[in-house]
Amino acid sequence: MKMSRRAKRMQRNHKRNANKSSLNLTALMDIFTILVFFLMVNQSEVEVQNTDTVELPVSLAENKPDDQLTVLVTREDVLVQGRVVASVASLSKDPADLIAALKQELDYRAARKPLPPELEEQGRPITIVGDKGTAYAVLKKVMNTCSKAGFNNISLAVNQLQPGGA
């Protein structure tokens, strides 16, 4: 039996297009790569900035800190969001309970971002990151200054101790 021209043309086209049925994964891999980078950048866990000069104390606390203003107390300096405001050596010698430069910086930060009236009772949140070798008197001055500046919701940053001592 003879095939019509249309049937021959269809058979030819089916043979020609039969080898093009492979799946192209390049576009799919590009999408997954972009998705992975997006998820890594927008990760919800908050990490407190840490330097090599600060060794945090260890705690069993499981709560992660929120993203908030950070006061870093190293062995040499007191920093607010990475900006040096005072030296620890001068704080040890000063008998005053208030650190003037720190209070000025905290007042400036508080003026930039007004606190809603419903949160005034709680106070502004702040995280103090102190080296575990820092003297208690210095940390007490820093906490007192934060409290006087209206930052009453004070958190101390620590490293989390893994269960089982690991």
pLDDT tens string 49-105 = 556 666 666 666 666 655 678 888 888 888 888 888 888 888 877 777 788 888 888
pTM of the model: 0.58
* 48 has a pLDDT exceeding 60: no
Question: d(Cα 48, Cα 104) in Å, to the nearest integer?
Answer: 23
* 45 has a pLDDT exceeding 60: no
Reading the block at residue 148, the tokens are: 């006087």
Task: State how beta strands 159-160 and 58-59 pair.
Answer: parallel
Please compute the mean of the pLDDT values over residues 110-139 and round it to a whole number.
Answer: 80
Q: What's the mean pLDDT when you consider all of the chain?
A: 78
* 47 has a pLDDT exceeding 80: no
CB-CB contact of 160 with 63 (8 Å): no
CA end-to-end distance (rounded Å), the chain: 81
pLDDT in tens, 17-39: 776 656 777 888 888 898 888 88
* 112 has a pLDDT exceeding 80: yes
* 165 has a pLDDT exceeding 60: no
Question: d(Cα 15, Cα 56) in Å, to the nearest integer?
Answer: 70
